[in-house]
Structure 1
Amino acid sequence: MPRLPDMIRPDRRDALKLGLGLAASVAVAPGVSAKAGRRTLDPANPADAVQIYRKLRYRTDDGLIYSWIKGPYMAAIGGDLIPLYAINLGSIQRVTLNPDGGFDLIDLEISFRVDVNTGKRLTNMRNPLTGETVRVGGRGPVPTHVKVGPDNEVHIPDVPGAPRYEHVHFGATPLMLGRDEIAIRDRSHAKVTAPDGGVSYLNEVSTITASRAQVLDSATTNVLSRVQSNDVRSWQAWLNMGDRAGTQNLFGNGGKVARFADLPADWLAMLEEFYPQVAADPIAVLDGKVVVKP
């Protein structure tokens, strides 16, 4: 699903405590959170457009978000696309509103790098461009804390000894699709300067869609959206690409779901196998009550 940029993370989204989340407060339709005070949001109104974006990508009230993305990363070199590996990603996020109109976001994202054809988790892989067998990078289930402003801009703090991020979020205009859907095309750019001075880039473009009636109903606070996620980024260091020309590109699809148990079955199975503590109590890990070693 819509997710924080990969590069925000060092390596590079309670009904049953696993969080029935949306389903616990259904009032309009299955999988939709709602509150009192109904009116129709106007996409041409800047204040309403902020809420439309937030509802599609996050939610407009306090609570949990469950989302996923799957798809291949391909190398773009000389006008060709060459499959590298795929991701199978699940994310649990907590939104806490702030008085200034923004919100705090805690993101627990676990992205398994998998074989493009079999979907099996990779720990080592043969780089098809260099012929070298490399150790597949990644990171463990460590929650990330960021602030999102009233304008939906993500604010990434500078941490001594950690990479420095220059993140730009471009305004997303709501798009009407057919008779029943509404979408936003969400674009962001990140320049990351590593402690050693190395610079890398990530450009992300996601198209997020959902039911127009639910999104424009001001009484709904969260909807089950779908996402087509694409990014163009510098080579990840673990691929050992050196100064080889080209970029790494994601072609992913996913969305938000109502409950932790509704995340893809193959991702849940890998989570149970490799991070059983997270599978047993993801909310405790998200909130820092349980720390899991990478």
Structure 2
Amino acid sequence: MWFRNLRIYTLAPDFSVPEQLDQALEPMRFKPCGRSEMASFGWASPFGRDSEVLFHKIGPCYLVSARKEEKVLPSSVVNAQLDELVAQREAELARKLPSKEKQAMKEDLIHRLLPQAFSKFKQVAAMIDTQLGIVVVDASSASAAEDVLGLLRSSFGSLPVKPWFAEHPSELYFTQFLRQQQLADGFEFGDEVELRDANDSGAVVRCRQHDLSGTEIETHLAHNKQVTKLGLIWQQRVQFVLEQDLAIKRFKATDVLVDEQDKLVDATPEQRIDADFALLSGEIGQLFPQLVSLFQTELSVN
């Protein structure tokens, strides 16, 4: 269990996790879709389908996991059958059907097809760190993260959060970091960057496995491009790409961290998840304050 994406939200100072967290989560426990339901969303055990436990706690950190089921009905299949039904109905009535009637027929058709549809499942994990006052969601998109926050809000009654953000636009910081080839202690440049033309011309340059200190990057910066994504390495332990909205993508452990974790042998799946979460929460707990300080440096980009 390792988060691949970090969408970080800051909590209000007076937030607290319910004392009976299991009871707060239970009403929103995941239930499979009924015969006529398109989707279902709720809490599932972070330890897998064989466990009833809905959260895991280590120190000030809580791990929860949301499960989503969506029925898959290809639009091509629905539309093909709908066209046949509409053609038959129009032939019977000797007139064209209005849009409202076609829509009603489509909804009825979907209702009849749902019991035969395949299901697609997705699990999204989240971490609440009450010491740092943050919620971290392992979601690649903001909408998926908002779904999990909405589920937390339903379970807790309220959830006063806002996305973590810097005082100034992040691209100004990213660009300054590369121009000056300087980062705060503990950070170093990775091998990935995205640059966009500051004049809204639409020009985009994306580099992977690239030396970010080379003359090619300098040339792009000299031609008024701004850095909108930046690869970073922290303490030689984790590497990631920081995006323009400060979402963290491709969050990966380096070989240094993997070697430390590989010392755990003959562990059960539950023990492995516990160890992974201890490691993950510990790394995020140390990384996040330093990330915040990274964006408190004085800007001098022209």
With the shorter chain as reference, the TM-score category is under 0.3
Greater percentage in strand: 1
Q: Which structure has more RCO (C-alpha within 8 Å, separation ≥ 6)?
A: 1
Greater percentage in helix: 2
